[in-house]
Amino acid sequence: MDYRASGVDIDAGNETVRRIRGLARSTFTAGVLSDIGSFGGLFRLDRSHAQEPVLVSSADGVGTKLKVAFRAGRHDTVGADLVNHCVNDILVQGALPLFFLDYLATGHLRPKVAESIVGGMATACRANGCALLGGETAEMPGFYNEGEYDLAGFIVGVVDQQRLITGRDVAAGDVLVGVPSSGLHTNGYSLARRIVFDHLALQVESYVPELSSTVGDALLEPHRSYLAAIAPSLDSGHIKAMAHITGGGITDNLPRVLPQGVAAVIDRTSWEVPAIFAWLAENGRIADAEMFRTFNMGIGLIIVTARDRADALIRELAAPGSLGARVVGELVPGHAPEVRYV
């Protein structure tokens, strides 16, 4: 007996490392001191841009969006999803990304698939100025179904303590600026898949006129990174707090940045909900409350700002490449942090 006969192919692992080494190196920034293959990744923190640097970290996954990638045989977008989701998670506290690590686990390692996944990560890391410092590729026979894998991402960023966005000044009377999403991002896919593949019996290549795309293209649209749009405004003083609208939708994520005694009122008519959400709601017969708690409904980030600064903030966000930010609600006195829809 040997390890290969047990289902673990060390040669495939080495081939995978060979394929992804160049991809990772293409993301390296000046702070990287190690190469792919080291036992640990080394990163030197440049303290010249922060008098009191605070490291901000986060970890996340892609969820069952991976099941759509398996069906489509397309693996680059989920790597970008993973990076962009993590970048947004630390951005809401004012942090800029330093480095990223990934965990890829599968039953049977396929180097070409791994290369595609990491290629998507590397592309997103370069776009976000974030080094893909290292990671782990685990081959676990008998643990995953054939052709399936799981992904997790870990990010570390930095912000000067004086520039931390903590929400400490959030108060009733502030307004909420919504920044559009690019689709479902990485949440709500268990429900979406049930509607699309089980109830409607569609395939990833099925064309949906209401969406002007195939099912696969619509569901695999990458999670948007807000770093490029938001970074120029981090020092403007216009941003009191930010909420990344992920699992739980606006309903559960916005209250995370609200103090006691303050509630949010969201005007559902202030933006046009993208077609994919209306299509899912109609075909799944999903109630509005369930939709807003499961999906982002077209708003991937909400910024809390003072009422007299909202116009200036929106103008800042209206630079070339604007995402179409707009006021979507306000904060009012309330017994506890919660979201009301009108």
In a domain, 134, yes or no: yes
Does 88 lie in the same domain as 195? no
Say whether pLDDT at 2 is over 90: no
The pair phi, psi for residue 223, each rounded to 5°, is -60, 130
Q: Which of 319, 237, 252 is nearest to 292 (CA)?
A: 252
Same domain, yes or no, for 181 and 291?
A: yes
pLDDT digits (tens, 9 = 90+) for 185-197: 999 999 999 999 9
Amino acid, single-letter form, for residue 179: V
| Cα–Cα distance for residue pair 153/223, rounded to 1 Å | 14
CA angle 310/311/316 to nearest 5° reads 95
Residue 5 lies in a domain: no
The predicted pLDDT at position 323 comes to 72
Confidence of residue 264 (pLDDT cuts 50, 70, 90): very high
> Strand pairing partners for 279?
none
CB 160 within 8 A of CB 52: yes
Domain assignment present for 3: no
What local confidence, expressed as pLDDT, does residue 17 receive?
Answer: 82
Q: What is the per-residue pLDDT for 319?
A: 61
Which residue range forms the structural domain that includes residue 202? Answer: 175-341
In a domain, 2, yes or no: no
At 140-182, the pLDDT tens digits run: 988 999 999 999 999 999 999 999 999 999 999 999 999 999 9
pLDDT at 37 over 90: no
Pair (153, 179) in one structural domain: no
What per-residue string of b and e applies to 187-196 under the rule 16 or more CB within 10 Å gives b?
bbbebbbebb
Structure tokens at 41: 């990744």
- What is the distance in angstroms between the CA of the first residue and the CA of the last residue of the chain? 66
Name the amino acid, one letter, at 27.
Answer: T
Q: What is the 3-state secondary structure (H, E, C) of 5-46?
A: CCCCCHHHHHHHHHHHHHHHHCCCCCCECCCCCCCCCCECCC
Residues 42 and 135 in one domain: yes
Query: How confident is the model at residue 8, as a pLDDT?
Result: 72
Q: Do 185 and 257 have their domain in common?
A: yes
Are residues 196 and 155 located together in one domain of the fold?
A: no
Contact 96, 158 (CB under 8 A): yes
Q: Is the pLDDT of residue 41 over 60?
A: yes
**Are 294 and 187 within 8 A, CB to CB?**
yes
Residue 170 forms part of a structural domain: no
Residue type, 76: D
pLDDT digits (tens, 9 = 90+) for 51-80: 899 999 999 999 999 999 999 999 999 999
The answer to whether residues 208 and 306 belong to one domain is: yes
Does a structural domain hold residue 169? no
Residues 157 and 195 in one domain: no
Residue 320, pLDDT > 80, answer no
Considering the domain architecture, whether residues 37 and 157 belong to the same structural domain is answered as: yes
Is residue 304 within 8 A of residue 241, CB to CB? The reply is yes
Over residues 309-330, the mean pLDDT reads 84
- Check whether 252 has a pLDDT greater than 90: yes
End-of-domain residue from the set 114, 132, 163: 163
Residues 196 and 299 in one domain: yes
At 14, the pLDDT band (50, 70, 90 cuts) reads confident
Q: Which of 106, 141, 163 is the last residue of a domain?
A: 163
Q: What is the pLDDT of residue 47?
A: 86
Q: What is the CATH number of the domain that holds 91?
A: 3.30.1330.10
Band (pLDDT 50/70/90 cuts) for residue 321 is low
Percentage above 70 pLDDT, the chain: 97
Instruction: Classify residue 203: in a domain, yes or no.
Output: yes
Asked if 186 and 223 touch (Cβ cutoff 8 Å), the reply is yes
> Do both 136 and 239 map to the same domain?
no
Q: How many domains does the chain have?
A: 2
The arithmetic mean of pLDDT across residues 321-333, rounded, is 87
Give me the mean pLDDT over the 25-45 stretch. 90
Q: What is the pLDDT of residue 322?
A: 57
292 vs 316, more confident: 292
For 257, residues 6+ apart whose C-beta sits below 8 A from its C-beta are: 92, 167, 170, 241, 242, 243, 304
Same domain (yes/no): 232, 303: yes
For residues 116-120, average pLDDT: 95
Q: Which of 163, 189, 205 is the last residue of a domain?
A: 163
